[in-house]
Amino acid sequence: MGREIKFCLVYRDMWQSSGKYVPRVDQLTKVAGPIIDMGCFARVETNGGGFEQINLLFGENPNQAVRKWTQPFNDEGIQTQMLERGLNGIRMSPVPADVRRLMFKVKKLQGTDISRSFDGLNNPQNLENSFLFAKEGGMIAQAALSLTFSPVHTVDYYIDLADQYLAIGAEEICIKDMAGIGRPVSIGKIVKGIKERHPNVLVQYHGHSTPGFSVASALEAARAGADIIDVGMEPLSWGTGHADLLTIHAMLKDAGFTVPDINMKAYMQVRSLTQEFIDDFLGYYINPRNRYMNSLLIGPGLPGGMMGSLMSDLEKNLASLNRWLKKRDKAPLTQEQLLIKLFDEVQYVWPRLGYPPLVTPFSQYVKNLSLMNVIQMEKGKERWSMIDENTWGMIMGRSGKLLGRIDREIVDMAKAQGREFFTGKPQDLYPDELELFASKMDEKSWNYGRDNEELLEYAMHPKQYEEYKSGKAKQRFLEDLEKRKTAKSGSSSLAVPAVAPSPKPAASFQPKSMIVDVNGEQFKVSVSYDDEPAKPAPTPLATPIPAAPENSNLKEITAPLEGTFYLTQDASESPLQVGDIVKEGDTIAYIESMKVVNAIKADKSGTVVEIIARHGEDIEEDSVIVRLS
């Protein structure tokens, strides 16, 4: 009998790599039993990364979801693992050290055994606390090597990186091939090099299918000494997800390895339930393109884990760009045309940003900047004219040192804007905040929750948590879902395989009101179902934005992109007010779009006479922000 290979089912990542959302807690607990009955998994990935933000976005308590989802596996002795983003914890932006420490304690108490910690820049400084806090909390500290393929990311670089991680406290190593662009032979060499130096250290391989290398990579990793292979399963394997369990199982068995038997009856049950969840509502958020592998992604190297959000972002930005083009009698772009332009621009931008590994959040930064470059150039503007604040933070070293060299043009832009490079320890930039959030919860009479888990959630995801508590998140989700169902029933443009339109939404997804747009004016419309009494006629949601008086000398500053509008980025800033003097180039506000914050610069000078955009509300591209005299 050959060496034993174990399997880990990346059930959370399967969903996140395919679309926007993951199943509700009732669905997760429903599928847990059949996953266990399959009898072939030593580990199951249950939470972490964007999982809990997603819960909040559709109005579900993430702490209850994690506890109920991990419990069945805990009871059966199957290890559970989470994905942790180092300095960023389980969100997209840096997290104070005291919040990070509490996170590991809480997650272990909620039933998570292993923390797979990665740093997007492979910066050991940012992971030292992760390993320390994980072990303090009673978890296994696994270090992930964020794999990418570039002139500076060599086999020797990754073997040496594993040495550094183990020296500062890591107990296991994961080869994290998040974009699936790691070349199989190189992956084998990396695993072999690690095992030769550390024969008793467990090595786990995680690779996305996206461009098609992952099956060969799994075989090379196993031959070189990998102990556990991450797998997906139908109907969410392949595409931007992961290789299917059945394929990897058959391949390794044929190669002479000892692999566990699979209960195929249970496999089919898990497969059926997963399809049931897709049919329920999750399929409305899965772009069909994400169900296919695409060798074009070898070039830009974008990871499977972000392709769900990428296609959603592309859809929104294409609609916005085409509205702009139509106003100017220009030909619209197709989604295919915009996608190819984006891929080409990523290949141009990435090396000039210092080759950050294309993993969360830096893959989003590279993609977002590339997309903004494409859009701005389509409008006749210059490349680099819209660099968001998160990307500037990466460029200036606030997340750690980039392995490659930053292009001189960008360095000069930074100096011209008065930005300074940071060379210290990134964690020092983010002071402790738990006491601050505890006091905010006290003011609101909110309970800290079991094991302080609600305090953790608020400190980790403040904006999303507040919207969850207020009910706004759930209302927004239900309205969006209803809009997608309506579009699906009337058009094939949002077609998703195996998602049947429902003539009547399920009771839990029936909104009582919807927002509609009629000739540019928004109305809040009450909705009745079946025998419900008729509702009053629609009334305007808000006063339409007033047009500037004819023949006036007022100047308007408009939104360069769509997103959520904010007058300030944090509490230390003073918001723009009527009467303020604005100079061209001043930052007047911010728009959050595609998970990053964009500073909005004034393209005119003058005195503020009217602020049109509303803090915390969505704004469309070309909408008026302020008027100046």
CATH number at residue 242: 3.20.20.70
Range list of β-strands (E), 413-554: 513-518, 521-526, 539-540
Which pLDDT does position 595 carry in this prediction?
Answer: 66
Tell me, yes or no, whether 253 lies in a domain.
Answer: yes
Same domain? 253 vs 372:
no
Same domain? 491 vs 595:
no
Tell me, yes or no, whether 371 lies in a domain.
Answer: yes
Tell me, yes or no, whether 437 lies in a domain.
Answer: no
The rounded distance, in Å, linking the Cα atoms of 500 and 133 is 46
- CB–CB of 359/411 below 8 Å? no
Same domain? 497 vs 594:
no
Backbone angles phi and psi of 426, in degrees to 5: -55, -35
Tell me, yes or no, whether 81 lies in a domain.
Answer: yes
Same domain? 166 vs 18:
yes
Same domain? 316 vs 280:
no
Peptide bond into 235 cis (omega under 30): yes
Output the furthest CA–CA distance in the chain (Å, rounded): 87
Same domain? 138 vs 36:
yes
Same domain? 590 vs 491:
no
Q: What is the CATH number of the domain that holds 564?
A: 2.40.50.100
Same domain? 371 vs 231:
no
Structure tokens at 590: 């911010």
Which of these, 97, 109, 98, 100, lies nearest to 139 by C-alpha position?
A: 109
Same domain? 190 vs 55:
yes
Number of domains in the chain: 4
How confident is the chain (629 residues) per 10-residue block, as mean pLDDT? 94 90 95 98 93 90 96 98 94 92 98 96 94 98 94 95 98 94 96 98 96 96 98 94 97 98 98 97 88 80 62 76 87 87 90 88 87 90 89 92 93 93 93 96 97 96 93 93 87 40 38 45 45 39 48 80 83 81 88 79 89 86 87
Which pLDDT does position 200 carry in this prediction?
Answer: 97
Tell me, yes or no, whether 129 lies in a domain.
Answer: yes
Backbone angles phi and psi of 516, in degrees to 5: -125, 155
Same domain? 365 vs 237:
no
Same domain? 117 vs 31:
yes
Q: Which helix (H) or strand (E) holds 44?
A: strand 41-48
Q: Which helix (H) or strand (E) holds 79?
A: strand 79-84
Which pLDDT does position 543 carry in this prediction?
Answer: 37
The rounded distance, in Å, linking the Cα atoms of 197 and 75 is 35
The rounded distance, in Å, linking the Cα atoms of 600 and 583 is 13
Which residue, 540, 566, 586, sits at the end of a domain? 540
The rounded distance, in Å, linking the Cα atoms of 360 and 303 is 9
Tell me, yes or no, whether 549 lies in a domain.
Answer: no
Query: Look-up: residue for tokens 């699979």?
Result: 262
Same domain? 342 vs 370:
yes
Beta partners for 234? none
Which of these, 566, 487, 564, 479, lies nearest to 524 by C-alpha position?
A: 479
Per DSSP bridges, beta strands 202-207 and 172-177 are parallel
- CB–CB of 103/403 below 8 Å? no
pLDDT digits (tens, 9 = 90+) for 63-95: 999 999 999 999 999 999 999 999 999 988 899
Which pLDDT does position 223 carry in this prediction?
Answer: 98
Tell me, yes or no, whether 461 lies in a domain.
Answer: no
pTM, two decimal places = 0.78
Q: In which domain, by residue range, is 421 found? A: 295-428
Tell me, yes or no, whether 510 lies in a domain.
Answer: yes
Which residue, 483, 505, 540, sits at the end of a domain? 540
Which residue, 262, 285, 308, sits at the end of a domain? 285
